[in-house]
Chain A
Amino acid sequence: MLEVYDLYSGYGKIEVLHGVFLRVSHREIVCIIGPNGSGKSTLLKSIFGLIKPYRGKIQFMGLEISQKDPEEKVALGISYIPQGRNIFPSLSVLENLEMGATPLRDPLKMKKAIQEIFDHYPLLEKKKRLKAGSLSGGEKQILALARTSMIKPELILLDEPSLGLAPKVVDQIYREIDLINHQGVTFLIVEQNARKALRLAHRAYVLDLGVNRLEDTGEGLLQNEEVKRLYLGG
């Protein structure tokens, strides 16, 4: 579904990715792990088009998309959930979902999609009038996932969903990801603390210093001695 071929990207003169290769198949959960500053977020931003790659290819469902804008990619069915701030804090939970529903265009469809989300996450419905900024970290992440899955994208690019969350909450987030995946959504997830992500992932890559070093199944990387020592903290 997604193929990244020899991708070079960065910020102005600062090249961060020096030739990244990557493949994500339909309905897969693929995880990219790697240390701080290795270029994981840069990779997702490049795929989504927030920064334009210098060279290399990005193909999505057979279409060359490396120079397309984020808006076009949303239309093609790619969604991106950034690292850290990924909700509108001063908007209410409901308004966040309404904004998330923008690509659906039709007000009736929007309403229906939001009601489905509320049926699935009663907690969000209970808090729909509250400012999203007042939610807990886990609730914010759920809100971000909910408003993204609501528009039924083909592929979700997810940057560090577990950032700053307690282990129990991380488990919950990953259960949600698994659930959404079973509804047919493909995931490309970036993680720094990666054990849980690797357990869920069908396949995974290690990214370090802007190139990918290893590729294996999630379990495979979890068992890999070098990966354990270097990237999973022993």
Chain B
Amino acid sequence: MSSFFLQTIFNGILAGCIYALFAIGLTLIYGVLNFVNFAHGELIMWGAYFLYFLMDRPLNLPLSIAFLPALCLTILLGLGSDRFIFKPLRKASRLTLLITSLGLSFFLRNGAQFFWGAEIRTYGFEIKRGMKLFGVSITPNQLAIIVSSTLCMILLYLFFYKSRMGKSMRAISDDLELARVMGIPSDRAIQFTWIIASFLAGLGGILLALDTNLHPGMGLINLVKAFAATLLGGVGNLWGALLGGMIIGLSENIAVLLLSPGYKDAIAFGIMVMMLLIRSSTIFWPKE
């Protein structure tokens, strides 16, 4: 029983790591650009499919070689959506941005479905037996998830607290107008924000797909989780997003001990609705 419980906690942390990667990206975009990017989930999904594309026929690249190009393609997708869609709308209302990002999300999801169909796919690795550690089974993929997301958090910390660009991004996220007034170049910081958010989305999507599978709907469901985590942690708050992701991951997996696994996704959804009720929805409407 106790090792069963430990396994649940471990699975929760594992899921939490990935949700945190998603949520940090989402909260970053919100903080700097002041809107909820509903297409963030599609960056997750496309990241996973980019890797699939590179590893599938005709390229047949091995994972170790395809991994970085897949992430770069995801970053390009993020930068492209800013350059061609969100940048021209920089001065638009939050509602416009919200609906635009919803539209983009549909477009990208259908795009993936067009190329790869709606069915569930995997990267085609045989499932490796996990090693046992304190009665908890860990597969190599899961180990990769823990290691790379921990590494990401450390790098993010160093970036946001030690580098000038990172500090500028936090300043802009605090108050864009004041940042402009003080001569902090916001254009480059905004580009950097997209790079980081897309990178985290792509990485998380790939890790998730390595551990489970890919399908065009994976973006949307994970957007809900990232969004719930973001709301839990306080929108725009980086470490809050990390913590929120962990809480969602853990509560989902613990809930499965009590409920049927079919309800797993409902947990994040429930938390999201609850947080929206508590906080009202100032995140969608400009603050007075």
Contact = CB atoms under 8 A, between A and B. Distances in A.
Contact of A91 (B170, B180, B183): B170
B179 interface: yes
A50 interface: yes
17 contacts: A50-B181, A70-B180, A71-B185, A75-B183, A80-B181, A86-B178, A87-B178, A88-B170, A90-B170, A99-B171, A99-B184, A100-B182, A102-B168, A102-B182, A102-B184, A102-B185, A103-B182
Interface string A89-125: 1110001001110110000000000000000000000
A132 to B, nearest CB: 9
Contacts of A88: 170-171, 174-175, 178-179
Contacts of A70: 180-181, 183
A107 B171 CA distance: 18
Interface residues on B, range: 10 to 19
Interface in A47-66: 48, 50
B287 interface: no
A140 to B, nearest CB: 12
A88 B174 CA distance: 6
Interface in B269-286: none
A98 B184 CA distance: 11
A48 B182 CA distance: 11
A47 to B, nearest CB: 12
Given A90-B174, A91-B171, A102 B181 contact: no
Interface residues on A, range: 20 to 34
Contacts of A82: 177-178, 181
Contacts of B185: 71, 102
B83 interface: no
Interface of B: 164, 167-168, 170-171, 174-175, 177-185
Nearest to B172: A88
A152 to B, nearest CB: 13
B167 A99 contact: yes
A79 B164 CA distance: 21
A103 B171 CA distance: 15
Given A71-B183, A74-B183, A82-B181, A99 B168 contact: yes
Contacts of A182: none
B174 A89 contact: yes
Interface of A: 48, 50, 70-71, 74-75, 80, 82, 85-91, 95, 98-100, 102-103, 147
Nearest to B183: A74
B165 to A, nearest CB: 11
A89 B171 CA distance: 9
Max count, chain A CB within 10 A of own CB: residue among B164, B167, B182: B182
Contact of A98 (B164, B174, B177, B179): B164
B178 A85 contact: yes
A87 B180 CA distance: 12
A102 B178 CA distance: 13
A28 B184 CA distance: 28
Given A71-B183, A71-B185, A100-B182, 11 more contacts: A50-B181, A82-B181, A88-B170, A90-B174, A91-B167, A95-B171, A99-B179, A102-B168, A102-B182, A102-B185, A147-B182
A207 to B, nearest CB: 21
A75 B185 CA distance: 13
A-B pairs, top 4 by smallest CB distance, nearest first, are: A74-B183, A88-B174, A103-B183, A88-B171
A208 to B, nearest CB: 26
A48 B164 CA distance: 25
A82 B182 CA distance: 10
A98 B178 contact: no
Given A90-B170, A91-B171, A102 B183 contact: yes
Nearest to A100: B182
B27 to A, nearest CB: 13
Nearest to A81: B181
Nearest to A157: B181
Contacts of A100: 182
Contacts of B177: 50, 82
A118 to B, nearest CB: 18
Contacts of B164: 98
A43 to B, nearest CB: 16
